[in-house]
Structures are given as C-alpha cells and as structure tokens.
Amino acid sequence: MTCKFYLHKNKGKKAINGHPWIFSSDIAGYDGEYTNGDIVEIYTSEEAFIGKGYINDVSQIALRIMTRDINEEINKEFFRKRLRTAWDYRQKVVDTSSCRFIFGEADFLPGMIIDKFEDVYVIQSLALGIDKYKQIITDILVEEYNARGVYERSDASVRLKEGMELKKGFLTEPFDTMVTIVENGVKFHVDIENGQKTGFFLDQKENRRAIHKLCKDAEVLDVFTHTGSFALNAGIAGAKHVTGLDISEHAVDFCRKNAELNNLQDKVEFVCGDAFEVMKNWAYEGKKYDVVIVDPPAFTKARDTIKNAKKGYKKINFRGLKMVKNQGYFVSASCSHFMSPELFHEAIAEAARDAGVMLRQVEFKTQAPDHPILWNDEESYYLKFYIFQVLTKEQ
C-alpha cells in the first residue's frame, strides 16, 4: 500500500495552488511505511488529495510532487509523456539544435535537468527521488531523441543537502565529451565533462543575440566572459574589437580556442584577471568602450547573503558604467534567483547615480524560453537582463 502523508492545517498552501515543493515543517504525519525516494501520496489535513511525489526526509524539501492525478503511475510511460510534452513546447519556442530539454520543476520533473548539445544529452539529477529514474530517462533519450550519448553531471553541491554523493560519468557507452555547438552563428566548444554545470550556459542564447545590433563597428568589453559567449557573439556581429575578461586562466584559454574556432582571434582578445580590480585600473587609465557587458556569476545563492550580494552588484555595475562612452551601451545581468528584480533594479540605479550618468532602458529580458518560468514556482524565475544606453547628465 502506498504511504500517505498529511499536512498540518493551513500549511502547504503553495503546493495546493500548484507549487511542487512541500517542506518538512508542513508535514503533520504519515500513514504507512516508506523508504526515502519512494513515491507517496500527499493530502491536506482534511484528507483532500494534493498529489503524488517522492519523499526524502533528509532534505528540507521533504516532498516533491510529480503528478496531481491519483491514478497516474510513475513509470516509463509517465516519463515518456513528460519528455514529449517538454520537447513539443521547445520545438515551438526555440532553436532545438542545442537547448535545455528539461528544466526541473517548470517541466513537472522536479530535481531533473537535461541539456541537449546537438546529439549529446547531459543529465543533472538534483534530488533523491528523481535519481532513481535516470536510466529510464536515458533509455528514452536514446530510443526517441536520437541521443548519440548521455552524460551525467550530478556534481552540484545541492545534492549533499539531499544526503546524496556527487557524481558524474557516462550513462551510455563512452563518447568524446568535447562537443561543438552553434549558437546565433557562433561556434562553441562545449566541455560537458569539466565545464561549469552541464558545460555551457544556454539560458542567455536570446540575450546574446540581442546585443548583435549594438556591436557592429563597436569597441566592446565583456566582463566575466566565462566561455567567451557574449564576446564572440559581439565579434560575429561585426565589432571593431572585443575584450573578454575573466579571473579563470582555464576559462580564458578555452575562450581563445573558441575564438580560433570562429576565426575571430584577431579581433577578440581575452584577458585573465579579477574583474573588480582590472576594471578599476582600466577606468583610472581612461579606457572607454562603446558597449560594456557585465554578466557575473550569482553573488548570492541564499537569502541571508542578499545584502552583501546587492553591494557586489552595485559595485560591479558602477565599475562598468564608468567605462561606457557617452551614448554608448551597457548590458547587465544577474543569474541569482534570490536577487529579486526589484533589488537588481535598485543596485543598478544606485550604481548609475554614483557614476553620475543617466540610463535609458533599451530592453529588459529574462532567461530563454527553454528555461520556462512557471508562475506557480517562483524559483524558476532567476535571470534578469538589461540593455541601457548610458547618457551624461548634461544631455
């Protein structure tokens, strides 16, 4: 018999309204026996059915809902339907040559990430319950989505909170883990084995395309360049010269290989250094650019560090704004869910005030639609992306 979990009275309202998570503090008790990772049934205190999902009492997120249909079985057919629904959606809204195939809770597969790089798929399993189904999902990718190979990158530290070990490796027969993709006309080497997360950040694809119109014949600075994605998009768009800056020597070496792949090594250069210090020194030297792009890693991954993170965003945006020519363009992004749109707006506004410039907003965007934002799940909304024109106050 399936174990049944019951919530405290007036608890779990978000879950009742569509959010897939139920926290351990919401649970009043259960009836039956379970092993962590099992599929269980979830009910309100009045015994109204909410959904079926998997249990992990080691995690603060004790229950993650997989289906709201009490009769739906969690088996291969279930995953086949979920993947088909996700794929049909992406075929409508994005270029699927390389894309995020499954975005966890927003695709109703909580804890599961799948990125597609041409005919290679990377799976990231972030929760115990979904981990049990990796092989089933891998089989479906091979059988129905022409997967040449599937690789696991379940090495995110969040797994430790689930009582799970970090792991990565092949889920199919071994294959070359260096993959080449094309995005907006730019070729990229993707290291799915050793690159960050699944090897490449696909969520900014459309934002990178948005800078093309700004970069023709421009001097461009791309800060926190990582794999050189914004820098190389600027180069392909016809920039006069592009400088990419990153603190990681490994990242910079990889960027240079990507530049050579696109025959852009003569116009796109990469510099290794600490962004805060290098930009401070370059601003002191009077360096100015037509376009400055600031796309840092998340400065906060928890609510209790938001205050310091806001200071970091303000500081790096101030540095960037000081280096934009009058009537030039400034691009700023935040990939932290905990940095709300309101806080990010405040940080940029304060940076502009301190830099003595006015901002004219050109565009506000968020993550690409293959990273869908589910309004019942606020955690699915994380990326904020602005393009501004920078004007002196004497305009």
Q: Is the Cα dihedral 296, 302, 303, 308 positive or negative?
A: negative
* Domain endpoint, select from 13, 41, 67: 67
Question: Both 243 and 260 in a single domain?
Answer: yes
Is 259 part of any domain? yes
Question: Both 318 and 245 in a single domain?
Answer: yes
Q: pLDDT 10s per residue in the chain (395 long)?
A: 899 999 999 998 999 999 999 999 999 999 999 999 999 999 999 999 999 999 999 999 999 999 999 999 999 999 999 999 999 999 999 999 999 999 999 999 999 999 999 999 999 999 999 999 999 999 999 999 999 999 999 999 999 999 999 999 999 999 999 999 999 999 999 999 998 889 899 999 999 999 999 999 999 999 999 999 999 999 999 999 999 999 999 899 999 999 999 999 999 999 999 999 999 999 999 999 999 999 998 776 666 677 788 899 999 999 999 999 999 999 999 998 888 999 999 999 999 999 999 999 999 999 999 999 999 999 999 999 999 999 987 66
CATH number at residue 31: 2.30.130.10
Question: Both 49 and 87 in a single domain?
Answer: no
- Following CA atoms 220, 230, 233, 330 in sequence, which dihedral angle do they give, to the nearest 10 degrees? -40
Question: Both 17 and 41 in a single domain?
Answer: yes
Question: Both 150 and 219 in a single domain?
Answer: no
Question: Both 239 and 324 in a single domain?
Answer: yes
Is 26 part of any domain? yes
Range of the domain at 62: 4-67
Residue 182: its pLDDT value, please? Answer: 97
Tell how strand 120-125 and strand 112-117 pair up: antiparallel
Instruction: Please give the Cα distance from 3 to 35 (Å, whole number).
Output: 10
Instruction: Please give the Cα distance from 130 to 118 (Å, whole number).
Output: 24
CATH number at residue 335: 3.40.50.150
* pTM: predicted TM-score of the whole model, two decimal places: 0.94
Instruction: Please give the Cα distance from 24 to 307 (Å, whole number).
Output: 27
Instruction: Describe the crossing of helices 76-93 and 134-144 by its angle, rounded to 10 degrees.
Output: 50
Is 288 part of any domain? yes
Question: Both 25 and 143 in a single domain?
Answer: no
Question: Both 275 and 326 in a single domain?
Answer: yes
Is 190 part of any domain? no
- The answer to whether 314 and 306 have CB atoms below 8 angstroms apart is no
CATH number at residue 89: 3.30.750.80
Question: Both 60 and 85 in a single domain?
Answer: no
Question: Both 227 and 295 in a single domain?
Answer: yes
Question: How many structural domains does the chain have?
Answer: 3
Is 254 part of any domain? yes
Is 196 part of any domain? no
* Domain endpoint, select from 42, 67, 92: 67
Residue 323: its pLDDT value, please? Answer: 96
Question: Both 173 and 84 in a single domain?
Answer: yes
Is 195 part of any domain? no
Is 138 part of any domain? yes
Strand partners, 54: 39, 64
* Domain endpoint, select from 18, 45, 67: 67
Question: Both 229 and 320 in a single domain?
Answer: yes
